[in-house]
Amino acid sequence: MRNLVPSASKVSTLEPIYNEEYSDSTSSNGAKESIVAAAFDIDRGLIFAASEDAQFGIRIWRTPVDPCEWKTPILCGSFSSVDPKVLSLRVIGESAQVILVTRSGDTVSWELDELGQFISGPDVVGSAVEWSPDDTLLVMITGDENLILMTSTFDVLSEAPLHTEDFGEDAPINVGWGAKETQFHGSIGRAHLKPFDTVFDWRGDGAYFAVSSIVSQTLQSGNVKGRVLRVYSNEARLQSTAETVAGLESSLSWRPSGNLIASTQKEVRSGPSDTRRTGKYGVLFFERNGLTHGGFNLRGDDRDHRIKHLAWSSDSNVLAVHIERTQGDVVQLWTTGNYHWYLKQEISAPLASHFTSMNWHPETSMRLLLTTPLQIIQQDYAWETCAGANDTGCVGVIDGQTILLTPFRTQNVPPPMSSHQLLVNTPADASSGHMFLSQVPAHMSLSHSYDLLSAVWQQGHVMMWALQTRTTLGREAVMNPILIWSASLPREFCQCRQVLVSSKDDGDERRTISVAILGSDVSGNDLISIHDFEHVTLPLASISSTRITKVSLQQKNGRLIPHELPEHLAWQAPDGCIFQVHSQEESYSQICSFTELCPSSQRVDAQLFVGLSAGGKVYTAIPSAESVLLASSVNSFTVASGFVIFTTTSHDVQFAPLESVVAALTSGQVNDVSSTGDENKTGELVPQAWEKRRVERGSRIVTAVPSTMSLVLQMPRGNLETINPRPMVMEVVKSDLDAGLWRKAFMACRKHRIDLSIIVEHNQQVFMAGIPAFVEQIEDVDYINLFLTSVGRSQLPAGVVAKVCDSVRQELEDRNLTKYVNSILTAYVVKSPPDHEAGLALLLRLRGVSPGLVEDAVKYIIFLVDADRLFDTALGMYDFSLVLMVAQHAQKDPREYLPFLRELRALPQYYQHFKIDDHLKRRAKALRNLSLAGPEYFQEALDYLDTYQLHDEGLAIWQGTDKYTDVLSVYGTWLFDRHEYHQAATVFIEASDARRAMVSYERALQWQELFELCLKEQLNDEEITEIAYRIADELFSKKRFSESARVLLDYAKDVRQAVNSLVQGNEFAEARRIVTLHAKPELVDQLLLPCALDCCSQIGDDINEMREQLHKQVARLTELRIKKVEEPDAFYNLDDPTLHNVDVMTDVSMAPTAFTRYTVAPSATSKTSKRSSKTKRKMERKLGSGRKGTVDEEEYLLKSVTKLVERCATTQGEIRKILPHLLQFSQVHREEGVALQVEFNQLQSELREAIEDIWKKPDESTPVDSWATRMQDKAKKQLIEPLQRVPKPEMSTSEWSLKLLQQKLAQWNTP
């Protein structure tokens, strides 16, 4: 539902220089110079044209392609010929030549350089010439009707007769029907055809070309000439011959996409010559196999019309039809959608003259080149969707003299149908006395704020209607358009191409309307005519303008920006600059700019502008700020409901909030994406999480209707799809919630499947205060139940859900308990956690008031809650009547529950409650009921709490009673069995059970508390000594040597064993103190001296072990790093043995890379999904295990070196403690100390050097700039080296050695 609107135009007028003699001769002979052909030079941005002149022959002219450069064509050269009739003019970009072919057989080329000159080519007399699309082949028909195929250098590839009886290589198989004798050839066959010239046209890919020529055929009326369409390959081999069609004409154009060949057909019905009348006249389509494939008829009276030429646009979307008329030629532009052909534009020749040629630009799809005898006319077009006010959603489509209107708020009519067809007829021009040549509006506009429609014609006629669209459902007409104003602009307005209508409310049922028409003056500069209608009384009738203003702009081919209010009129220049138009001052001033021209744009308010460029980029701009790129790859956009809504080529529709866009523009939160040296600085909006929705491929926005929360999309084939996007729905819902329209918001959420919890989330405080109004507006029980259920299942916090449910429930109870009983039950059930007991209690309360209501309520609550769960809840309330009621309505089998209920009824009250709670697994409550059952059940209670570990509950129940100690004893035993000896000892102390407390302390190795308790209990010395030896042995086995020695000294009085424990723990200082304190000098020789040597030897072994480990790991690291440099594929496991001897890899597998070095797949099909969880855990444990040959080995070795540093620091502490004693014991011990210090010094030096070497950063050499190097650098950035994962360890710098031993070492080393 788009219109093809003119976006730019350019007219270059030929001004030949005639002398007086030539003028007199030409005036007497009637011959004048005339442009007959034109061609585009894509590489240089030029247009070349050829003119025929009786005196000068053929002359070549050139003019720029840029629509803003209106310059007189420049003469390039001339060529004299006997018969100056041009057959073809072509620019060959590869050879930089302009090639001209004349009817007399002259082939001339002109070199496109500064010294351009004509060079004659081969002379072949021909009647038709056509170049292939890629300029490599040339097909020509000679005078003797031979078809010649040549190269671009005019080398003949093939020559054959044009006329043949063969059908071609694609001849269909004859199965016995459809003989030529049985086919209908028209009432008079081909007797009335006029023989026109042979014409060619190539398919867009240059693989085939079609030839339309006249042949002689024998029919019932005799020998007549008829036209035949043939298809040839690019090797000049005949492929097919079209079926016979009556009235086929010479016009021919092959659609670039290749599916259709367009020609024209004019049927003349039989009868006397004076009564003969015209049949259908239109365009007929053929397929490549020669079969017809539909077509369309021309509009209006075609008695004096003739279709001269057809041409497809380069994107195959627009078909240009050149029609010759007696009152002046026109070119019609046709497009198709949903199998209907629309007449979108009609271009009339200036001054009622004739068009001499028509060409489309080969790359710029919407650029049309026309020539008249003295003018070169270039027209640019763009696609535009004409959408009106949001409250009606009206969209207009131009189809010839009819405007198709559909208000999408009330009707969704698929094209080509529409809700209303508005016929627009232009009146006769009073000055010229004839009708306007162009009957199709050049542009139309719908007001964004009121129900108005305006249309403008190319010659300057403008009309405005009040549509009076119905916005409510009903059977009356959907709209009743009334023409309220029309006018014809002065002659100074040329090429009117755009009209905009806007209005604003003045109050008191009055409006101010403004109509702005954009055209050009005689020099090509843009000219705006503004017609204001102030304080118009509603409803609208015939009106007249109160003020007419003209604003002349000094640039060409700009665009008016659609707006809502008259004072927001703005004009966009071709470079993207936006100017505010001041109608009263008749001036304009720049306010902001887009980065490039945006043919589709919109002014949202006084500040914000949004535009879509031809390249699919959406820009936003505000005054005093740079243009910002909002999105790329966009094919359509609109602004509605507070969003910039746009569809992308990735087949989704996105919603950018206007608030965030404006905030980003004003705060400067944009990314600079302009290239270096770019004068037009452009920023890109910081990416945000905009809401998006997937749509069908190729969808485009038609219009958005905020009132119905709908977005209308059109598919590529033309059909419509209306969706209700969540952002648009939410905007309406939020506005309704803010206005207190609870029911409207609820129904919108329900209809569009929006979570009803949004009613609470939007503004919780307002909702809580408006619950009475909410209940009053909703009223329906089912709707309230649906709301409560949605809130209960939402992501709201449990406290909020409970608060909402309780408040709504209270309001319902206050209003009508019996009416809203189901809703009240729902409020109890949906809470988290649900309050089933309260719901059942409500049923008990209603049971005596309304039994029938209770029965329905029970059925309803059973529907909400699982029946078994509800049965258990009722049982837990200890009300057997309620249990029976639930069981009966839940249709439970009586044999399942009646025996159980009878058994419970026979038990005492508290024991009955205990059995019920135990059945429901409410253990704590069951224990409390069991404690109330009586002392005879106490032992059962102890077993029960021990079985279900209810010790805390039991202590709370029996605290302060004589049974409290028994509960503590059970609790302590349970802790002791769980090896929680410390906790058990505390409990036993509380229970006054000292013996068991001592055992617990002994197991916990808490010897201080143990011996304190032993002394308090006054144990004898033998028992204490025995306990001391047991504790000391346990402490010694746990390597708690100091504590073991303390126990032996204090409680076992065994000095020797205490000293032995100390020296085993390298605590020689404490051992020597105890020996001296207790006067045991013999222990020095017996224990201290030997143990010191043993400890020194052990430390030496540890040093040797660490040195050996260090050497091995450093050597392996060096080997791995050499392998990483020399054989990276082998190091990263890139050599996959499963790929050996494989020549071709399928598309389901990919070559392994450095990114997949941790995953080695044995085949293209992954086996990961087949692994069990146990296997996965095993593989996770293997990951990083450092197995030799794996990629993790290097990291494992680095971590091992780090642990070695930690071990070295621990050994250093041990050496620090023993060295002073080795110095003091004996000469042998001193020598051992010196050796130990030397060995450890060497180990530290080697370890420090190894660390510096291992964690040294490699030198970064200057790489060679190549593709392989760049790819390797990119891969390295993705990999994390093990050195970056394992931090460099730090060696300890604390003082540990003895200077005396260093001096002794120096003495030994001195010779």
In the predicted model, what is the mean pLDDT of residues 571-600? 91
Residue pair 724/704 in contact by the 8 Å Cβ criterion:
no
pLDDT at 1137 over 50: no
Asked whether the CA dihedral 153, 157, 159, 160 is positive or negative, the reply is: negative
In the predicted model, what is the mean pLDDT of residues 1189-1215? 83
- Give DSSP secondary structure letters for 1137-1152: GGGTT-----TT----
Q: How confident is the model at residue 1079 (pLDDT cuts 50, 70, 90)?
A: confident
DSSP 3-state assignment of 74? strand
- Give DSSP secondary structure letters for 1029-1045: HHHHHHHHHTT-HHHHH
Residue pair 156/150 in contact by the 8 Å Cβ criterion:
yes
pLDDT at 1287 over 80: no
What whole-number distance in Å separates Cα of residue 413 and Cα of residue 1301? 105
How large is the C-alpha radius of gyration of the chain? 50
What whole-number distance in Å separates Cα of residue 143 and Cα of residue 156? 16
For tokens 């509009």, name the residue.
299
Note the pLDDT tens digit of each residue in 883-926: 888 887 777 777 777 888 888 888 888 888 888 888 888 899 98
pLDDT at 1140 over 60: no
Residues recorded for the chain: 1311
Q: Which residues pair with 505 in a beta bridge?
A: 511
pLDDT at 1278 over 80: no
1075 token code pair: 């020996």
- Comparing 3 with 1171, which gets the higher pLDDT? 3
Q: Are strands 683-685 and 628-631 parallel, antiparallel or unpaired?
A: parallel
Asked whether the CA dihedral 1199, 1200, 1205, 1206 is positive or negative, the reply is: positive
Q: How confident is the model at residue 1266 (pLDDT cuts 50, 70, 90)?
A: low
| Rama region for 328: left / alpha / beta (φ>0; ψ in -120 to 50; rest) | left
For tokens 């390039």, name the residue.
76
- pLDDT score of 379: 93
Rounded to 10°, the helix 771-778/798-815 angle is 60
Q: Which residues pair with 334 in a beta bridge?
A: 319, 343
Note the pLDDT tens digit of each residue in 921-941: 889 998 998 888 888 888 998
pLDDT at 173 over 80: no
- pLDDT score of 104: 77
Quick count: other Cβ atoms within 10 Å of Cβ 1290?
9
Cis ω before 908 (30° cut-off from 0): no
Note the pLDDT tens digit of each residue in 374-406: 899 999 999 999 998 888 899 999 999 999 999
Query: Largest alpha-carbon pair distance within the chain?
Result: 156
Whole-number mean pLDDT of the chain? 81
What whole-number distance in Å separates Cα of residue 815 and Cα of residue 772? 9
Residue pair 529/550 in contact by the 8 Å Cβ criterion:
yes
Could you give the C-alpha distances from 1224 to 130, 408, 1193, 1308, in angstroms and in order?
A: 115, 106, 47, 18
For tokens 């032995």, name the residue.
1060
Note the pLDDT tens digit of each residue in 706-753: 989 999 999 988 889 999 999 999 999 999 999 999 999 999 999 999
DSSP state of 1222: H
1159 token code pair: 């995953």
In the predicted model, what is the mean pLDDT of residues 1283-1311? 55
Q: Which residues pair with 377 in a beta bridge?
A: 11, 370
Note the pLDDT tens digit of each residue in 633-656: 999 999 998 999 999 999 999 999
Quick count: other Cβ atoms within 10 Å of Cβ 519?
22
CA angle (1187 as vertex; 1186, 1192 as ends), nearest 5: 40
Residue pair 619/630 in contact by the 8 Å Cβ criterion:
yes
- pLDDT score of 1163: 42
Note the pLDDT tens digit of each residue in 280-302: 788 999 999 889 988 999 887 66
DSSP 3-state assignment of 541? coil
What whole-number distance in Å separates Cα of residue 240 and Cα of residue 1065? 107
In the predicted model, what is the mean pLDDT of residues 1013-1024? 85
For tokens 């004019």, name the residue.
266
User: Side-chain half-sphere of 335: how many Cα atoms within 13 Å?
Assistant: 24
- pLDDT score of 768: 94
Residue pair 821/859 in contact by the 8 Å Cβ criterion:
no
Note the pLDDT tens digit of each residue in 517-553: 999 988 889 999 999 988 788 777 788 777 889 999 8
DSSP state of 1170: G
- pLDDT score of 1176: 54
Measured in degrees and rounded to the nearest 5, phi and psi for residue 544 equal -135, 150
Q: Which residues pair with 340 in a beta bridge?
A: 337
Residue pair 731/725 in contact by the 8 Å Cβ criterion:
no
What residues contact residue 272 under an 8 Å CB cut-off, 6+ apart?
none
End-to-end CA distance of the chain: 108
Could you give the C-alpha distances from 541 to 141, 462, 482, 536, in angstroms and in order?
A: 63, 17, 8, 9
- pLDDT score of 26: 42
What whole-number distance in Å separates Cα of residue 302 and Cα of residue 279? 10
Whole-model pTM: value is 0.73
- Comparing 686 with 341, which gets the higher pLDDT? 341
Q: What is the distance of C-alpha 428 from the center of its chain?
A: 53
Residue 73's identity, in one-letter code, is: P
pLDDT at 203 over 70: yes
Q: How confident is the model at residue 25 (pLDDT cuts 50, 70, 90)?
A: very low
- pLDDT score of 277: 41
Of the candidates 383, 411, 379, 409, which has an alpha carbon nearest to the alpha carbon of residue 397? 383
